[in-house]
Amino acid sequence: MRSHITTKGLERATHRALYYSMGFLPEDLEKPLVAVVNTQNETMPGHRHLDTIARAVKEGIIAAGGTPIEFPTIGLCDGIAQGNYGMHYPLASRELICDSVECMMNGHQYDAMVLITNCDKITPGLLMAAVRLNLPAIMISGGPMATGCVDDQEIGYTDLMAAQGDVARGIITREELSRRERDALPGCGACNLLGTANTMNYLTEALGMCLPGATSLAGTGRRLALAKQTGMKIMELYNKSILPRQIVTKESIENTITVDLAIGGSTNTLLHLTALAKTADIEFDINSFAELAQKVPHLVKIRPAQNGHYPADVHNAGGITALMGQLCKNGLLHKECLTVTGQTVAENVSDAKIINSNVIRPMDNPYSAKGGLQLLYGNLAPEGSVCKSAAVVPEMYQHKGPARIFNQEEPAVAAIYGGQIKPGDVVVVRYEGPKGGPGMREMLTATAAIVGMGLSKEVALVTDGRFSGATAGAAIGHVSPEAAEGGPIALIEEGDLIEIDITKGTVHLHVSDEELARRKAAWQAPKQDHVIKGSYLDRYSKMVSSAMAGAVFK
């Protein structure tokens, strides 16, 4: 066993003594030492309850003949960091999470690991650690949050976003908003929408790195049972020497993209799946999203998509397992990909059934024939950009309007709520990319302001920043090259016409090449006065690659 380097031999007396001082028995050290990487903390509802998941995982490990050893990592809440200085950190934390798992696993030479997750950057960070270390590994999430209820009406995270705008427009009172706040998010779990958290946890099942059942709700007996099964399954993976890089392959990533497109997942998946492929040394072209979108229909609509369902509805309809069963039967998945069950994708979903075809639509009745994410290129984004087309109203598939320029999110939000943005405008928020932010802040507050002010059918937003999965509307993000690198988005001037065609996948700045060249010659990168010299953000900005390359360290 790998762990014998720390537990066997005459010269390891002190090592064993350290374990004994914590209550371990000699026979415990004869078994595989299985790390339980628990991201539990009290900063967010997605992670507050993960101590119960960890207990169930450890029970499963012990029952299957292993010795569990728990340790933590950091975990940030995008919702609490949203719209303020704190949002510089969540994406940047992904690399720290991956690195911290590497440090603990290699520093202590554990034999295998169970990775307990739930929220946005934490799931991809742990997946990256799994393929980097390539030791027996399995994931388990804390599950989605239940749906809220106010006055016998379902309510969730995105409904609160719209309600903020209703207050600004005088439609409802602050007191009414406060009343809704108390019940929209009724308990623990990943927030009740298709944000990055639920998207990435669903995609972990599509990837094959967790047991089927990713949609089972937080705080339920089914979720705890899944956690116990996960603890038992890691011992099987260890005994059979099934490793992450046998599961995470080019084909399984294509399966993941297929499911992503079918559910209209968060645009952040482009960042995370690209980063995962790079970490696993898999040759990957981000245009795979665009190519697969041509043949994968949009079958599941989850909020923030207009008139979308809640995560609980998807679970009750059969979950991701049932969706994958349908995709598999129609030849859209690589059926022979290995998964952590020890079986193939086809074997995992062979008995899966769709319970509610209004929630998981059949292939002959999709929301659209093309998947719910769209890549856009043009002279404004030569290296690409992305839009969550599943959350765009049809009126905004094509849009042309004057640019309203903001070099940070905060003044853009103030202008939107202040009534300074008019129908037809294109709000441009720049210097918010991976390097320029730094940390590629989410523009959720800005897009929520556009929706809340009733402008979602008339105003677009273009940014080198990114979006939460909660984002709705014609929001074009990840514009590359970013402004801090002198990309075309840095050269836009107030009033320049921008034309967006989501159907065709184009974003064009109506300025001549000659004029852009003149502006580029005069351009200078602004100073990042808000970044402390020598801080993690300072180092991150110097090391990070572009969004379309996954925002990984160079």
Cite the active site residues.
Answer: 468
CA–CA dist 496, 519 (Å, integer): 13
Q: Inter-axis angle of helices 444-452 and 157-168, to 10 degrees? A: 60
Residue 518's CB: how many other CB atoms inside 10 A?
13
Buried b / exposed e along 235-249 (16+ C-beta atoms within 10 A): bebbeeebbbeebbb
Q: How far is CA 50 from CA 21, 142, 527, in A?
A: 26, 6, 41
* Side-chain half-sphere exposure of 194, counting CA atoms within 13 A: 33
Which of the 8 DSSP states describes residue 393?
Answer: -
Q: Do the annotations mark residue 78 as ligand-binding?
A: yes
Q: Say if residue 186 is preceded by a cis peptide, omega within 30 of 0.
A: no
CA–CA dist 214, 205 (Å, integer): 6
Return all residues near 316 (Cβ < 8 A) that are at least 6 apart.
355, 356, 359
Q: Do the annotations mark residue 120 as ligand-binding?
A: yes
Q: Do the annotations mark residue 351 as ligand-binding?
A: no
Of 377, 499, 387, the closest CA to residue 443 belongs to: 387
Residues written for the chain? 554
Return all residues near 178 (Cβ < 8 A) that are at least 6 apart.
none
The encoded tokens of residue 424 equal: 């037809």
Of 109, 96, 198, 111, the closest CA to residue 147 belongs to: 198
Say which residue the tokens 């669903």 belong to.
Answer: 202
Helix locations, 240-359, DSSP H? 244-247, 250-263, 268-279, 288-293, 311-316, 319-329, 345-349
Question: Is residue 483 within 8 Å of residue 464, measured between CB atoms?
Answer: yes
End-to-end CA distance of the chain: 34
φ, ψ of residue 163 to 5 degrees: the values are -65, -30
One DSSP character per residue, 345-358 reads HHHHHTT---S-TT
Can you say which residues are annotated as belonging to the binding site for Mg(2+)?
78, 120-121, 442
